[in-house]
Amino acid sequence: MIKISASILSADYTKLGEEIKAIERAKIPYIHIDVMDGHFVPNISIGIPTVESIRGATDLILDVHLMISNPEKYIEKFARAGADIINFHLEATDSPLEIIEQIRETGKKCGITVNPDTPVEKLFGLADKVDMILIMSVYPGFGGQEFIKSSLDKVKALSEHIRKNNLNVDIEIDGGVKIDNLRDVLDAGVNIVVVGSAIFEAEDMAAEAERFSEIFKEFEHR
């Protein structure tokens, strides 16, 4: 199944509860939560208490994207706050296997992420150990950026690696996805599509999500 993960970075924080209800009404199954520390990325966003509040407000799957240095210090805390999937950046650590193990110990799903300039081949040795690989299609730090087209080649190479090795790993893409480039993204092999500004800036989130779902159907047979 191909799914949207709604990036709440683009939500209106004065009414986060209503925004979460809107995501539920739009039948979007995942909420993508962008955690930024002002160190690994040049921006600061939300942290553990907000993840806890979101957990208290919904049963949707919380897909937490850690854009932070020293992720090992916070895995346990985000797990306890209610994350369902914990994604960390390969660039943020010299010991990815230890972090994967740490996430496994919490019982949560594990994802690993690469920035636009990191070759996807660096993840091939880890692909059989995670549930999700997240390919950044913008430089992390801000919503509403332009999609970087070369990320599609990375998705294709990863998708091929997963197919050849018969692995069961979700491929998520994050940044700049809109209706206009959605078919290219799905064609490359993505099955979880992070969408921020395109749905939060739409006049009717549910109608926009439905437009995405209609296109998903063209690719579901894979």
Residues that bind Zn ion in the complex, under the rule CB under 5 A: 34, 65, 174
Pick 104 or 142: Cβ nearer ligand DX5: 142
φ and ψ at residue 213, rounded to 5 degrees: -60, -35
Are 62 and 38 spatial neighbours (Cβ–Cβ below 8 Å)? Answer: no
Q: Binding of ligand DX5 at residue 96 (CB under 6 A)?
A: no
Which of 20, 28, 34, 132 touches ligand DX5 (CB under 6 A)? 34
Give me the least distance between CB of 67 and ligand DX5, in Å please: 6
Give yes or no: 34 in active site: yes
Which of 58, 145, 181, 213 touches ligand DX5 (CB under 6 A)? 145
Are 29 and 4 spatial neighbours (Cβ–Cβ below 8 Å)? Answer: yes
Helix ranges (H only) for the chain are 16-25, 48-57, 75-81, 96-106, 151-164, 179-188, 197-200, 205-219
Among ligand DX5, Zn ion, none, the one that 145 touches (CB under a kind-dependent 5 to 8 A) is ligand DX5
What is d(CA 82, CA 105) in angstroms, rounded to the nearest whole number?
Answer: 15
Give me the least distance between CB of 164 and Zn ion, in Å please: 28
Give yes or no: 59 in active site: no
Q: Binding of ligand DX5 at residue 189 (CB under 6 A)?
A: no
Q: In terms of Cα–Cα distance, which of 158, 197, 159, 156 is closest to 180?
A: 197
Pick 51 or 194: Cβ nearer ligand DX5: 194
User: Measured in whole angstroms, how far is the alpha carbon of residue 103 from the centre of its chain?
Assistant: 16
The tokens for 49 are 């208490």
Pick 9 or 123: Cβ nearer ligand DX5: 9
Pick 20 or 161: Cβ nearer ligand DX5: 20
The residue whose two tokens read 């087209």 is 149
| Residues lying near ligand DX5 in the complex (CB under 6 A) | 7, 9-10, 32, 34, 65, 138, 140-145, 174-177, 194-198
